[in-house]
Structure 1
Amino acid sequence: MTETSDGFDDYPTDLSRRRLLFGVGAAVAGATALGGTVLGPALVGEREARADPGVPGMPELLLPKFADALPIPPVLRPRGDLTVRMRVANVKLHAHLPPTPLWTYDGHFPGPTIEVQRGRRLRVAWTNELSGPLPIVAVEIPDTVPGRPPGVPPTNYPGRDGATPLAAVAGLTPWTAVHVHGAHSGGGQDGWAENGLSPGESQLSEYSNDQPATALWYHDHAMHISRFTLMSGLLGMYLIRDDEESALRLPRGKYEVPLVLCDRNLDLDAAGKPTGALLHKISIARTEPARIVVPFAGPYTLVNGVIWPYFEVEPRWYRFRVLNASNARVFRLVLVDENNVVVPGALKVIGSDGGLLGAPSTVDEPLILSSSERADILIDFGALAGRRLRLVNTRPGTAPGLPDPGNGIAEPDVLQFRVGRRGHDDFRLPAKLAPSFTRLTPADLPPDVTRRLVVLTPPGSPGDPEMWEMTEVDPAEVTIPGDGIVQLRGADGKLRTYRRMSAGYQDATMYTVPRDAWEEWSFLNLGGPPHPMHIHLVRFQAFRRELFDARGFDVRIRGTKTPLTFLSQPELEAHETGWKDVIRVASGQDGKAELVTVAGRFGHATGRYVYHCHLLEHEHAMMRPFVVTPPEVLALVSGLDEGHHHG
């Protein structure tokens, strides 16, 4: 397992000073346990009226924890064609907040869970009935804000910090494109980001659902603005069922629960009280001449659309379908008891983005999920009757359950479990899960498999991170060092030289994939935040993570001065050994780069697709197209884009 940064302290600014306030966060936690100052004046009376309000790690967050029961989104099981309407709705995000205006699917946040059977086609009319302006306030602030403690991200706090709302964002009108994330759908059904809908229009999409049982999700994918439209509420889950899953007799009905996680920030009124309005508040780091956007991280964690809820469970097994729907935050989830001690053996991972694993895996270390990753987990509450447990977000070097405000965790709690004293359960954890699952190795790939390298550049070279498509070249044919030239010395000791072919979204399409072809893609993160890389259409398996010495890359040259050399190969996590459609490519620490290699078969459909970083503040700049074409069509054109086979 690789423990890496959440992206704050990897940016080329003095953000490492944020760690200095960890002691302050711990002191706040201690003060709250002793009945010290915990909430702002606006909510003190409400707090005193509650028997168990829950206290946030930073008093500036104002809202008590565990004030709301966990809501469960409604379920749609369509028998024929389905219409889903995008509507404006007012939704309560917390008992102490006024209703929040949101853009929603069918009036719900998250949207209804769509549940289908494998192989049963579904036609959906995604109808845009939205009106009015975007229902969030967007501001940009410098990394250091007067009046805020040094060493703590100002984005930890609610409110605008004096910033003026961005007029361009405030002027956005409803323009949407729906993508069912992870679906093996044709290019015309995939929700191409530039094919947006205006109010009164419908996107007509057909989904074959011809893939193993898994948890997908649907969300807005409108070009350039998805960081705002998802934050506004346009997301929901999409479950596929099959006979293999049914045969396992996993917990079902009220014992199978979606957990849609996301972080948000809130606007404040003139008196410093939360208005309920969502705030897209990001900081801007400056390293001359670069202006670098620090990805969004909010201080409030929502589960199924509610801030810090509680969930009453019976002392038995539950199945949770966990989705990280945040813009950028990486969740490192552990289950702790009343004393912040990790509950051993209770959490089992049984599936990943693309379906069930071959066997369950016990996870006592943090379960790491980056933006858009999913995990299928089981928790056994059978021996925990009468207890109150918490799912918490933690970081390397921080004790579970304690805040780490210097690294953007103003409040670690995600969800409280209140375990009852009575319950019946005849479920037994099977030793084997999906008989159809096979763990791939490189030896399973055909000898002529196409291999590609994609380089993710660090911030400051020259601005926000970029995504470069590379091709291997003879070193004698290029100038070393040079812009876009990267050299790697791998674990086998061989030196390879790569030249950049493309970077921006508007560059020519370089990747053409024959339908049914296997491909191996490697993503190299040279520094900065973890990049959750999502490839549309295909599910893949991760072969390996590798760490390289990244000090040879020069951001001024935009290439390597000396080759990046192999250092080690960390283990994959349990959920990373299954089928996936997103893989977290973290940067190492202390001058290390991470290379993640995945492989998949593009055998489901054809058309024009994209792959991209699912960190939403990067999505528009770190997105590239690829095309899947029937091989017999490619055979008609001799030499069509032959260069792509050497990337």
Structure 2
Amino acid sequence: MTEMSIEPARTGTADGAEPNGKREAAAGLTPFIDALRVPPVLRPGRSGAGRGIDIELRTTWVRLHSQLPPTKVWAYAGHYPGPTIEVRRRERLRIAWVNRLTGAYPVTAAEARAVPGAPLPTDVPGRTGATVVEGVGRLPAWVVTHLHGAVTGGGNDGWTENAVARGDAQLSEYPNDHRAATWWYHDHAMDITRWNVYAGLCGMYLVRDGEEDALQLPAGEHEIPLVIQDRNLDTDEDGRLTGRLLHKTLIIGTDAQGRNITTPFAGPYTLVNGTIWPYAKVDARWYRFRLLNGANARTFTLRLVDDETGEQVTGAVHQIGSDGGLLPRPLAVDGALSVAPAERMDLLIDFGRLRGRTLRLVNDAPGVAYPQVMQFRVGEQKAADGFVLPAVLSSSFERLTHDTAPRHQHRLVVLTPPGPVGGGHPEIWEMRQAEPGTVCVPGEGGIQVKGADGVVRTYQRGGRMFDDTLGFMVRHGDWEQWSFLNLGGAGTHPMHIHLIDFQVLSRDIYPADPESPFDTELGGTRAPLEYGGAAPIAPGDRGWKDVIQVPPGQMVNVIGQFRGARGRFMYHCHLLEHEDMGMMRPFVVMPPEALEFHHHQPDGSHGHHVR
């Protein structure tokens, strides 16, 4: 590996002391007895960036909790999560992701059915009542790394089918010409992303610039990444936790081939930086937390509460950034913070006003069996700290609206409910606007939408599966509005477009299953979907994003510019189980001069507006 600056991993004081008495065990483990680990920091610097660096993917053993045996994981540079890579804007970096993984696959996959009157199988540790998924244990070490958020050429993006085998390397170059932001890297191998990421393949990547420097935000040991994930663990024949990673999902039906249809993964144990329910000792001063939801599919509804009273902490937490960088100004977080898979939030917490208190970060989402996430133990004495929360964070930020957006093209993507047409799974449908009378409606693949202007528009389905004919050809440099319409049946989809940042223009309400005129048996609408008004945009969603939550019954309209890179990319639902089961499609960005010579039928998705 090229010479570079690497700060070692850090932990809190691992004395295991519990100030308010020992907590009762949950799912066999005691919360808050292990110190939070902080991954090592890797700073290639200008010389390292120029020559390139090697990051080896290795099999290693970690302790997820002090009451567990060691767990075998796959890890970047032998760390779970991987090292936090830090670069400066325009500091080009070449990385060879070298596959040195050894041994058998570290994850056991199992599927279980719900039993009336019993806890959900996904809330119960171990494989009791579940059937092991054949073939997962024989999977090879076949991996490809995607730097999520990066603007880089298609050949460097971690194309899902271009995974490498043991002993080979994936070579990628990252220009890093981007405003300061919180990115992350993770595995993206075709059909098995859910298990490869579950095995441990993820890490953070931070871009810094002068605008961020000028804010003099908390840094060093006072800037901490928080990678939040959930897991399940296997048990032996006596019911004791073995520490082995168990990917257990809930069976909800079967497809036409008799294969089980399962829910996305959710597990009983919440990990922060690879430790189950850790604690962190913090000084009574400002801290900066780079928070990432690295879970396969769980959306966390996070609250910071007082440990003794259980009441929400107010006045101390502020969001200063989203996926794509700094917000224009700080946002006070005095309620719940919803974070979907792959979303990032840049947070500041003023522990100076909370000195001497013990706090808990909890998951307040409905139906969560084990809400604990982590604990903070704040020092008694206020620490010296000159930081002052600025009124303005990013003077370069410009908010886009339907009225102020640059001239742009438009595409409609429909997220369908599970049904016979989709083989029991939700799907991504790329829609092409059709002239009246050219599409048989009602009919399979036909959708009609009555927009806010009262006009009924008719669409015909194009691509729906990953291997279908390429539909979206994008002119490099163009602005495009993509509208994601969720017809329900499979919950909220966090939609991610590779290559670009975007802003949310609006959230429009349309009927969803079961009130929707979309017929899952037919695979089309029997009457137009009617506009039902506007839904609010959360303040934290008004910044630059690359993942957006699309709940049932909403059309979420986002806009971004396809600049900086060309090639073949992907967009998909970031519930990894949905992604692996078909909710992913390709698109190609081409120079406009070359696109003029494209001989295939145009996708017909330009120039119209649904709203």
User: Equivalent of 2:414, from 448, 455, 473?
Assistant: 455
Asked if the contact 1:393/1:414 (under 8 Å) is kept, the reply is yes
Structure 1 contact 634–640 (Cα < 8 Å) conserved: no
The normalised TM-score by structure 1 is 0.87
Query: What is the deviation of 1:273?
Result: 1.1
Change (3 A) 1:270 1:83: same
Match of 1:346 in 2: 316
C-alpha distance in 2, partners of 1:288/1:170?
Answer: 23
Q: Distance in 2 between matches of 1:633 and 1:598?
A: 26
**Separation in structure 2 between the aligned mates of residue 632 and residue 568 of structure 1, nearest angstrom:** 40
Aligned match for 1:643, one of 597, 604, 607? 604
Contact 2:64 2:70 in 1 (8 A): yes
Return closer, same or farther for 1:107/1:378 CA change in 2, 3 Å cut-off. same
Structure 2 distance, partners of 1:475, 1:298, is 48
Paired residue type of 1:534: H
- 2:13 maps to which residue? none
Q: Which residue in 2 is equivalent to 1:416?
A: 375
> How big is each residue's C-alpha offset from its partner over 1:336-393, in whole Å with a ceiling of 9 and x where there is no partner?
1121111112211110000001001112221111110000011111111110111111
- Closer/same/farther in 2, CA of residues 437 and 480 from structure 1, 3 Å limit: same
Say whether the 8 Å CA contact 2:60–2:72 is kept in structure 1: yes
CA 1:100–1:244: 2 relative to 1, 3 Å: same
Is the contact made by 2:98 and 2:170 (CA closer than 8 Å) also made in structure 1? yes
Contact 1:611 1:623 in 2 (8 A): yes
Q: Which has the higher contact order (CA 8 A, sep 6+)?
A: 1
Give the partner amino acid of 2:537.
L
Q: Which amino acid aligns with 2:567?
A: G
Structure 1 stretch displaced more, 241-250 or 525-534:
525-534
Q: Deviations over 1:576-612 (max 9, x none)?
A: 111011111111xxxxx11101000001100000101
CA contact (8 A) 1:487 1:495 kept: yes
1:65 and 2:36 correspond:
no
**One-letter amino acid of the counterpart of residue 377, structure 2:** R
Partner Cα separation in structure 2 for residue 155 and residue 450 of structure 1? 43
Note if contact 2:399-2:542 (Cα within 8 Å) is conserved in structure 1.
Answer: yes
CA contact (8 A) 1:324 1:369 kept: yes
- Could you say which residue in structure 1 is the equivalent of 2:294? 325
Structure 1 unaligned residues grouped into runs of 5+: 1-46, 396-403, 588-592
1:577 aligns with 2:542: yes
Count of residues in Structure 1 that have an aligned counterpart in Structure 2: 577
Matched, 1:236 2:203: yes
Amino acid at match of 1:96: Q
Please point out which of 531, 543, 565 is paired with 2:505.
543
> Are the structure 2 counterparts of residues 439 and 219 from structure 1 closer, same or farther at C-alpha, using a change threshold of 3 Å?
same
Residue 97 (structure 1) shift:
0.5
Shift in Å at residue 446 of structure 1?
3.6
Partners of 2:44 and 2:18 in 1: CA distance: 44
1:495-549 Cα offsets, whole Å, 9 max, x none, are: 2221101101111111111111000000011112211111000110011112212
- Map residues 107-506 of structure 1 onto 2, 5 A cutoff: 107-142=78-113, 144-145=114-115, 149-150=117-118, 152-286=119-253, 291-337=260-306, 338-395=308-365, 407=367, 409-422=368-381, 423-447=383-407, 449-461=408-420, 462-506=423-467
CA contact (8 A) 1:390 1:414 kept: yes
Q: Look up the match of 2:491.
A: 529
1:93 aligns with 2:64: yes
**Change in 2 beyond 3 A, CA 1:508/1:314:** same
**What percentage of residue pairs aligned between the two structures are identical?**
51
- Which shifted more, 243-252 or 162-171? 162-171
Deviation at 1:644, TM superposition (A): 4.3
Residue 224 of structure 1 aligns with an amino acid whose one-letter code is D
Deviation at 1:168, TM superposition (A): 1.0
Which stretches in structure 2 are left out of the alignment for 5+ residues? 1-15
Distance 1:94 1:638 in 2: 57
Secondary structure, aligned partner of 1:239: strand
Alpha-carbon distance in structure 1 between the residues aligned to 2:600 and 2:167: 44
Call closer, same or farther: CA 1:65–1:481 in 2, change over 3 Å.
same
| Distance across 2 between alignment mates of 1:50 and 1:173 | 46
* Cα offset, 1:154, TM superposition: 1.3
Partner letter of residue 569 of structure 2? Answer: Y
Confirm or deny: 8 A CA contact 2:187 2:202 kept in the other structure. Answer: yes
Matched residue type, 1:607: G
- 1:640, distance to aligned residue in structure 2 (A): 6.5
SS in 1 for 2:510: strand
- Cα shift readout 1:93-120 (whole Å, capped 9, x = no counterpart): 0010011000000110000000000001
CA distance in 1, matches of 2:120, 2:556: 29
- Structure 1 CA distance for aligned equivalents of residues 559 and 214 of structure 2: 29
